[in-house]
Chains A and B, each alone.
Chain A
Amino acid sequence: MKRGGRSHNLDKNTTNIILESISDGVFTVNHRWEITSFNRAAEDITGVPREEAINRHCWEVFRSNMCEGDCALKKTMKEGKAFISASGFIVDSNKKRIPVTVSTALLKDKEGNVVGGVETFRDKSVEEELRKELLSKFQLRDIVSRSDSMNRILKILPQIAESGSSVLIEGETGTGKELIARAIHNLSPRKNRPFVAVNCGALPDTLLESELFGYKAGAFTGAFKNRQGHFASAEGGTILLDEIGDASPAFQVKLLRVLHEHEFQPLGAEKKIRTDVRIIAATNKDLFAMVERGEFRRDLFYRINVIQIRLPPLRERTEDIPILVDRFIAKLNRIRKKSVKGIDRKVFDVLMSYSFPGNIRELENIVEHAFVLCSEDTIRLRHLPANLSMQSFERDEDECKRVNPVRLAEIKVITDALRRNNYNRNATAKDLGIHKTTLFRKIKKLGIKLPEIDGRSGRKRFDAGVVTVESKSL
C-alpha cells in the first residue's frame, strides 16, 4: 500500500515535470469549462499567468476563433472521442493573432469516470510565417524591396488585405500605389472578383460619374443604351480610386453617399443599386492637410482613411535602387531579346545620388532609355539621359576636363525643349526663341540624335525621350 502510494506520487511528479518541460501548451477543464490546470508552455503561448487562468472559463483564457462555434473540447466531451490537430488561431493580450493547432481528449480519473477534458495546443507562428513568406513572395512578386520601411508595409499587407477595410494609400507619384492596391486585392478574399482602377483626376465630373456609376439609355444626349459603371463591374471585388485628392467637391459628396449607403444610382436610373465593393483610395497629396485647408471633405477623409499606408519615395529607400535596376534590366532583356548584364559603377553612383522626383517610374524610364541605347553588355554613363549624364560629368572631375560645360548646358536646354514639344522642331524652335534653321544647325553641331518621329505624326507616346548625344561632340 505504502509502496503503491509512493509510486503514485512519483508518477504524479513525473507527469508534472513532463508537462512543465514540453513546448506544447496543455490545460484541463472540468465539466463547468473552468480551467483546472495550466502548464508553463500554455502560459508562454497565451501570455496568461497560471494563477489568473485557474478557475476561469477556458474561452476567457484561450481566446480562440474555435471557442464560439467549433470548440474541439466540446466535441470531445460530447462524442467521447479525441480530436487531433484542429487548426485555428488565438488572440493574445497584445492583439496578436497566434496560429495554433489543437488536440483534445477526455480527462478520466482512476476509476475511468470522465472528470473533464484536456486540450493541448501548439504555437504554429514560425511555420505560418514561413508559409506566408513563401506565399507572399509569390503574390507580392511585383513589389521588391530591401528597405525597412517598405518591408514593414509588405509584412502587414496580408492582414490589411484580409481585413476588408477601406485603405488610403499615400505616396509621391511613381512610388507604386497601384501595385500595392493590386497586392491588397490579390491577397484578399476578393481576389477572384474584379479589380478596377479609376483615375479620379483624369476625368471631368460628369464623365467620372457616368464612368463610375454607369447610365441608362436616354440619360443624356448620346446615351443610346444602358452602360454599366465601374462600381457595377467591380461588384464583389475592389475599386481603386486613384488621385482621390483631385476629385471635385461635388464628386466627393457623391462618393461619400456611396460609401455611406453602399448604394449608387446610375445616371438616369430611378432605383438605387446595392454595392459590395472594397474601396482603396490613393493620392500623391497630403489629404489631411487638404482637409485642414477645407479642400477635401473631412467626413469622406475619415471614411476612406480606415487603414493608411504611406509609401516612401525612392530617395528614402535608395537601398532598393540596385535591386530595382536588376529587375528592370531582366524584364527588358526578356522583352527585347537582349543580354545586358548590368550597369557600370559610375552609372550606379549617379543613380544612387539622384533624387528621383518621379520615383520608381522615373528609374524604370531611365533604365529603359539606357537599355535602348546600350549595344554592349553593360550600361554606361553615355547611355543615360542627358540630364543624368550631365549630372555625372559635373561630379567626375576627369571627365569634366574633357567636356565643354557650355555645350552641355546647350544640349540639356535643347533636349528638354524637344521633349517638352514632343519632338516637333518648329514648336521647339519657337519655344527656345530661335529660328528653326538655327535649331537644326545646333542639333547637328552638338551631335544630338533625334528619333525618327518629328512630333507631327499621330503617335501618342514616345519611348522615354530617346534623344542621344554623340559623346565625341562633347
Chain B
Amino acid sequence: MLVCILVWTINVRGLGMKVALTVWKNWISPVFDAANMFLVAEIQDGEIIDRYYESFDPERPSLLVNRLIDAGVSVFICGAISEIPAFAIENSSIKLIPFVSGRYDDVLYHYIRGRHVTSQFFMPGCRCNSGKQRDGKRFSCTTRRYNKK
C-alpha cells in the first residue's frame, strides 16, 4: 500500500507524468476503435501543466503506441476497446484503463487527485480494472452478471 502511494506520489505529484485520453467533444470517446482524437495531459505536482490534442488512426494501434511512447505517455484512458488494439497497448509499457466514460475533464480531475478511476466513470455493465498492474500482472475486464430472463 505504502509502495503504491509512493509510486503514485512520484508519478502524479512529483516528477510529472503524461496521461492520454481518447476524446470526443467534451467526453471520453465511447469507442476507441472509432475514435480519431486523443488528448495528452502533462501532470506535475497535481496540476496539468500542458495539454494538447492529436489525431490518430485507431486501425493502426501499433503506430499509436509508438507515438505515445515517443511522447512519454505512461497511462492511456479510453472508452470501449476491442481485443487487438487493447493487446497492442497492454503489451507496451503503457498502462491501459479502458471502458471509461464521462466528461474527460472530470476523469482527468479525479485521476490527478490520485483517486481511482472509480465505478462512476466506468461504462455500464463493466467492472473494469483492465491493464497492467505495476507488478506486471494483468487485470481483465469482466462483464457484470445479470439474470437473463
- Please report A residues at the B interface, Cβ cutoff 8 Å: 20, 40, 43-44, 46-50, 52-53, 56-57, 59-61, 63-69, 89-97, 159-160, 162-166, 189, 259-260, 262, 302-303, 305-307
Q: Are B123 and A49 in contact (CB under 8 A)?
A: no
**In the assembled complex, how far is the CB of residue B24 from the closest CB belonging to chain A, in whole angstroms?**
5
Name 16 interchain pairs, CB-CB below 8 A, sorted by A.
A46-B125, A47-B144, A63-B123, A67-B34, A68-B30, A68-B35, A68-B36, A90-B31, A92-B143, A93-B126, A95-B80, A163-B61, A164-B60, A164-B61, A260-B66, A307-B87
| Chain B residues near A (Cβ < 8 Å) | 24, 27, 29-36, 57, 59-63, 65-66, 70, 79-88, 91-92, 98-99, 101, 123-126, 128, 141-144, 146, 148-149
3 cross-chain pairs, A with B, having the tightest CB-CB distances, nearest first: A48-B125, A49-B146, A65-B34
User: When the two chains form the complex, which single residue of B83, B98, B124 contacts A96, counting CB atoms closer than 8 Å?
Assistant: B83
CB atoms of B125 and A44 under 8 A apart: no
| B148 engages A43 (CB within 8 Å) | yes
**What is the minimal beta-carbon distance from A104 to any residue of chain B, in angstroms?**
17
Within 8 Å CB of B82, what residues of A? 91, 95-97
In the complex, chain A residues whose CB is within 8 Å of the CB of B63: 164, 262
B61 touches A302 (CB 8 A): no
A47 B125 Cβ-Cβ under 8 A: yes
Give CA–CA (A201, B126) in the complex, Å.
47
Known: A60-B124, A68-B30, A306-B91. A95 touches B81 (CB 8 A): yes
**Are A162 and B80 in contact, with the CB atoms below 8 A?**
no
Dominant SS among interface residues on chain A: mixed
**Are B148 and A44 in contact, with the CB atoms below 8 A?**
yes
A97 and B101 within 8 A (CB): no
Q: How far is the CB of A276 from chain B (nearest CB, A)?
A: 9
Chain A positions within 8 Å of B98 at CB level: 95
Complex: A442 Cα to B94 Cα, angstroms: 67
**Chain B: minimal CB distance from A303 (Å):** 8
Looking at the assembled complex, report how far the CB atom of B97 sits from the nearest CB atom of chain A, in whole angstroms.
Answer: 13
Instruction: Out of B30, B125, B128, name the residue touching A53 (CB < 8 Å).
Output: B125
Asked if A162 contacts B84 (CB within 8 A), the reply is yes
State in angstroms the CA–CA spacing of A92 and B91 once bound together: 21
Could you tell me the distance in whole angstroms from the C-beta of B25 to the nearest C-beta in chain A?
9
In the complex, what distance in Å separates the CA atom of A63 from the CA atom of B80? 7
Q: Which A residue sits closest to B89, measured CB to CB?
A: A306
CB < 8 Å neighbour of A165 from B62, B124, B142: B62
Q: Please give the distance in Å from A165's CB to the nearest CB on chain B.
A: 4
A126 to B149 CA separation, bound complex (whole angstroms):
22
Known A-B contacts A160-B84, A163-B59; the reply to A40 vs B124 at CB < 8 A is: no
Q: Which residues of B contact A66 (CB under 8 A)?
A: 34
How far is B87's CA from A189's CA once the two chains are assembled, in angstroms?
Answer: 20
Q: How far is the CA of A96 from the CA of B143 in the complex (A)?
A: 11
Closest to B28 in A: A60
Contact yes or no, B148 A60, CB < 8 A: no
**A contact residues around B66 at 8 Å (CB):** 259-260, 262, 303
